[in-house]
Amino acid sequence: MSTATTIAKPVMPAKHYLNDNYGIRSWLLTKDHKRIAILYLVSITFFFFLGGLFAALIRLELLTPQGDLFQSDTYNKLFSMHGINMVFFFLVPSIPATIGNFVLPLMVGAKDLAFPKINLLSWYIYMVGAFFSLATMVSGGVDTGWTFYTPLSSGYLRTHVALMAVGIIMAGFSSIFTGLNFIVTVHRMRAPGLTWGRLPLFVWSNYATSLIMVLATPVLAITLTLLALERVFHIGVFDPKYGGDPVLFQHMFWFYSHPAVYIMILPGMGVISELITCFSRKRVFGYSFVAFSSIAIAVFGFLVWAHHMFVAGISQYSAMIFSLLSMAVAIPSAVKVFNWTATMYKGSITLMTPMLYALGFIGLFTIGGLTGIMLAALGLDVHVHDTYFVIAHFHYVMVGGMVTAYMGGLHFWWPKITGRMYPEAPAKLAALITFIGFNLTFFPQFILGYLGMPRRYHSYPEEFQVLNVLSSAGASVLAIGFILPLIYFLWSLRYGEIAGDNPWGATGLEWQTTSPPPTHNFHEVPVVTEEPYAYGEETVISGH
Amino acid sequence: MSDHSQSHPTPKLYVVIFLSLVVGTCLTWGIAFANLGIFNPVVALAIACIKATLVILYFMHVRYSDRLTMVTVGAGFFWLLILITLSLSDYLSRSLITVH
Amino acid sequence: MAINQTTTNQTTTTDHHPALAHHFDSMEQQQGASTFGMWVFLLTEIMMFGGLFTAYLVYRIKYYDAFVAGSTSISVSWGFTNTLVLIASSFTMAMSVWAAQQGRRKTQVRLLIATMILGVIFLGVKAKEYYDKFDECHIPGHVIGKGFNSWGGCDVNNPKLGNIAEEIQEKAKQAGATVPEVSAVQTAKQTEIFFSFYFAMTGLHAFHMIIGVGLLAWLTVRANRGEFGPAYYTPIELGGLYWHFVDIVWIYLFPLLYLISRHKHVA
């Protein structure tokens, strides 16, 4: 442990990207990736809490075995809007559009993304999609489930499917533009000396995510377009009444939606790589393996989609192939988990809030991932398909994994984004509350599913009530765990301790500039000469 | 980063490619009226692929571009192949195995 | 990561090209990034059309006879003409980029205009084809059919589903074969799916063409102002890439839609 010199108290830089320009126009017409990241942050936080509100209503209904709080159709709308808002308007953009937008150009030593105007356009397209989504909700919402299976959605239901489809297509285009920007930036705008093998793993993960965004999302766009056309013009595409094939819809829908779940988790894994290495003060074990595993997940993720369709009527032969491939896709994820663990071994671990979230991620994502392998097994899937087992699985990976990583990343880069530290004690408390609330909410659901409780039902047999009550109780705890950060993050904007350039003593180009960074990111163009994560025995994290 | 600093197409080459494409189109049209059975669509698509390759390599300058561009084009067709093949693998194998 | 900070900033002594954006270090980097960006965008377009092509393939296999009937009923001459028109427009577009590289202002403008004209011709022919389809009631969709009821008696409430079923019967009769009525109705329903894809695929393509013509117009204005030369012709090159892509989609659409079992004359 070096130091010796008295460290002067950090001060806010005089000029930075937040105070460089004032006024609403300077925000709404900005080309600065950092400001665009903040625009996204506000938007997706809104949708996170909106989706959370729907979840709260769902859990409220499920306190009692009878479907007594809402009518069946209304309940269908609740879980549909919960899923749609969470998946398309929160999870898909979450880390890439907020943390990624902010930090990725800094990490590669660039002044901005490759196409700043397209970056801003992507936010506006997202907002148009958000408008359509809200309009749909206001006019009654959709009740098809977020999966829009036909013929329910193509002709049978009377709700505003086409309107919602447009909103989702817009959100999809927004993510395509973000992905396009990231890909070109990583290829063409790295600082001198920054070879691919020196890139932070967060960049590798977001690059892999961007590949998926760019390749998969257009198929969703065309599928939903055909669905909307079928609804409006009654042409035969997916509806058997007109000669269409409903399984074709599922094939095309899941061709996007399965890789989409990797869009959602890969950036989280990138965050975890950064957190583990910083708070263990150790290079990531097996850097190349972790880097290539991101690409492997991106590629393999495209080969497994029909595991959502095992009982839909696909051929047995096809089902077996997809089942095998689905087992294979777990391997790169396992590689990451092993490497993170190995990184921590004999590391110098500091349990700051971001690290708490990272540790939570490793445990919860592992459980989620393992149950995913269980679902990949044909025989077991036939038993638990469309039960709460599936719901528990994907909430473990999405909430226990992705949202946890998102919270960890927000805490980690908050000082870089705002120049201020969040308060550590409330943050640790919130992390703990979230962890407890999450497990209490979703673990009982594994048991419920295995015992046979179907998903998307608002009434259930009496014997399932105890587990459902536990789950709903957990949900209220979880809600507190998410509301607390909202409060103290906002508090920290005014009263948080000034952070200084590098409060964590982390490696990475983003920590070599001021907090908050200047509009053009770096006062001098950085040149990279060393491997990533070169943690020696030097810096100590400024104690909090 | 190479693109047009090395050799790039001359107008004469463009004319050659254009004429090849016209010939290809006429061939496609003509062969369509001959009875080749199962090979009709195969030949038609093969000619289409050749035409597309000519456009990509010469009109779109991929022949004179760096490796990244070629990989990108290849990736596009490869992913399209994944979508088509895996989807069709379901439909075409339905009659193969019957479940009792 | 140890970093040696250098003081190399991009504002150097040589004046940089007015088209250089502030976040790029050089025109070369900007050109490389822009071109690569356009290719990635075309990648997304391949996947979007790809989704349509996949669905089309599934139905072509399922409803082969109906697809033959549908394909026979669209005009192969117009399709062939349009293919030649589009190939010609790709040629003029490629030449226009060459002219820009050479710094020939008038030539590049003329070639851009030629490309636009050919594009508009294509769209005109497509419009004629669409009109013909509506006229013959070879259209999908009950709602559209209802609206155009007066056009030719496309009574889609009629269980015989428009004229296609009758046409199939007619043509079969002329060839000396008989098609049972139930099967004719079935084939007619399936043929409607062919037309769904015909309109969806050519429609999406035409939509891209319209945007392309708009892009070309904008490029023509800029080219006329003398903005493009050997030092900077990226926008026109990107426009070319987009235009060629739209051409390639049609290169596949033509055989897939117009040439299904053309050698069989009986529907």
Task: Report the pLDDT value the prediction gives residue A306, as an integer from 0 to 100.
Answer: 95
Task: Report the pLDDT value the prediction gives residue B98, as an integer from 0 to 100.
Answer: 52
Task: Report the pLDDT value the prediction gives residue B96, as an integer from 0 to 100.
Answer: 64
Length of chain C: 267
CB A335 within 8 A of CB A297: no
Q: How many CB pairs below 8 Å do chains A and B form together?
A: 36
Contacts of A229 in chain C (CB under 8 A): 200
Of B83, B90, B99, the CB nearest to A318: B90
- Give A282→chain B minimum CA distance, Å: 34
- φ/ψ of C266, rounded to 5, equals -90, 130
Q: Give the residue from A188, A196, A214, A215 with the most B CB atoms within 10 Å of its CB, the best one to mutate.
A: A215
Q: Give the whole-angstrom CA distance, residue A414 versus residue A412.
A: 6
Helix (H) or strand (E) holding C240: helix C234-253
Enter the tokens of residue A123: 């936010």
3-state class of C98 per DSSP?
Answer: helix
Q: Give the whole-angstrom CA distance, residue A99 versus residue A45.
A: 13
Q: How far does CA C137 lie from the centroid of its chain?
A: 23
- Give C161→chain B minimum CA distance, Å: 28
Closest CA to A211 of C146, B58, B46, B78: B78
Of C8, C33, C140, the CB nearest to A114: C33
Q: Is residue C147 over pLDDT 80?
A: no
Closest CA to A157 of A182, A140, A178, A174: A140
Determine, for residues C141 and A235 on separate chains, whether the beta-carbon distance falls below 8 Å: yes
pTM of the model: 0.92
Contacts 24+ apart (CB under 8 A), C113-119: C113/C220, C114/C89, C115/C89, C115/C216, C115/C243, C116/C213, C116/C216, C116/C217, C116/C220, C118/C85, C118/C86, C118/C88, C118/C89, C118/C92, C119/C86, C119/C89, C119/C209, C119/C212, C119/C213, C119/C216
- Cβ-count burial A6-45 (b if 16+ within 10 Å, e if not): eeeebebbeebbbeeeeeeeeeeebbbbbbbbbbbbebbb
B21-51: per-residue pLDDT in tens?
Answer: 999 999 999 998 888 888 888 899 999 999 9
Q: Give the whole-angstrom CA distance, residue C249 versus residue A365.
A: 42
Q: Give the whole-angstrom CA distance, residue A2 versus residue A27.
A: 42
- Work out the angle between the directed axes of helices A316-328 and A330-344 (0-180°, nearest 10): 10
Contacts of C165 in chain A (CB under 8 A): none
Task: Report the pLDDT value the prediction gives residue B33, as an integer from 0 to 100.
Answer: 86
Q: How far does CA C251 lie from the centroid of its chain?
A: 9
Q: Give the whole-angstrom CA distance, residue A45 versus residue A486.
A: 9
If you write DSSP's letter for every residue of A72-110 in order, what string do you get?
HHHHHHHHHHHHHIIIIIIITTHHIIIIIHHHHHHHTT-
Query: Which chains, if any, share at least 3 CB pairs under 8 A with chain B?
Result: A, C
Q: What is the arithmetic mean of pLDDT over C196-214?
A: 95
- Give A36→chain B minimum CA distance, Å: 28
Neighbours of A394 (CB within 10 A): 19
Of C8, C44, C193, the CB nearest to A218: C44
- Give A309→chain C minimum CA distance, Å: 17
C232-243: per-residue pLDDT in tens?
Answer: 999 999 999 999
Task: Report the pLDDT value the prediction gives residue C34, as an integer from 0 to 100.
Answer: 95
Closest CA to C253 of C52, C69, C8, C40: C52
Q: Which residues of chain A have pLDDT under 50?
A: 1-3, 537-544
Of C37, C141, C193, the CB nearest to A114: C37
pLDDT band per the 50, 70, 90 thresholds, residue B9: confident
3-state class of A69 per DSSP?
Answer: coil
Neighbours of A251 (CB within 10 A): 27
B61-97: per-residue pLDDT in tens?
Answer: 999 999 999 999 999 999 999 999 999 999 988 876 5
Contacts of C259 in chain B (CB under 8 A): 28-29, 32, 40, 44
Computed on alpha carbons and rounded to an integer, the radius of gyration of chain A in Å comes to 23
Determine, for residues A526 and C190 on separate chains, whether the beta-carbon distance falls below 8 Å: no
Q: How far does CA B33 lie from the centroid of its chain?
A: 22
Q: What is the CATH code of the structural domain delimited by A27-512?
A: 1.20.210.10
Closest CA to A36 of A82, A96, A88, A89: A96
Determine, for residues A222 and C142 on separate chains, whether the beta-carbon distance falls below 8 Å: no
Q: Is pLDDT larger for residue C173 or for residue A303?
A: A303
pLDDT band per the 50, 70, 90 thresholds, residue C165: low
Question: Above pLDDT 70, what percent of chain C?
Answer: 80
Give C33-141+185-258's CATH code, choosing from 1.10.1200.10, 1.20.120.80, 1.10.8.60, 3.10.530.10: 1.20.120.80
Q: How far does CA A283 lie from the centroid of its chain?
A: 25
Q: Is B12 on the interface with A (CB under 8 A)?
A: no
Q: Is A6 on the interface with B (CB under 8 A)?
A: no
Task: Report the pLDDT value the prediction gives residue C6, as an integer from 0 to 100.
Answer: 42
Task: Report the pLDDT value the prediction gives residue A427, as an integer from 0 to 100.
Answer: 97
For chain C, positions 205-234, list CB contacts with chain B under 8 A. none
Task: Give CA separation, C60 vs A236, C194, C205, C245, in Å.
Answer: 13, 8, 19, 24
Contacts of C50 in chain A (CB under 8 A): 218-219
- φ/ψ of A269, rounded to 5, equals -65, -35
Looking at chain B, which residue has its C-alpha nearest residue A302? Answer: B82
Of B75, B82, B96, the CB nearest to A315: B96
Which residues contact residue A191 at a Cβ distance below 8 angstroms, ignoring those fewer than 6 apart?
A108, A109, A110, A509, A525, A526, A527, A528
* Residue A153 per-residue DSSP state: I
The most confident of the ranges A260-274, B6-20, C8-22, C227-241 is A260-274
Q: Is A111 on the interface with C (CB under 8 A)?
A: yes
- Give B77→chain A minimum CA distance, Å: 11
Tell me the domain boundaries of chain B.
1-65, 67-100
Q: Give the whole-angstrom CA distance, residue A294 versus residue A310.
A: 26
Q: Give the whole-angstrom CA distance, residue A520 versus residue A21.
A: 13
Q: Is residue C180 over pLDDT 80?
A: no
Determine, for residues A218 and C196 on separate chains, whether the beta-carbon distance falls below 8 Å: no
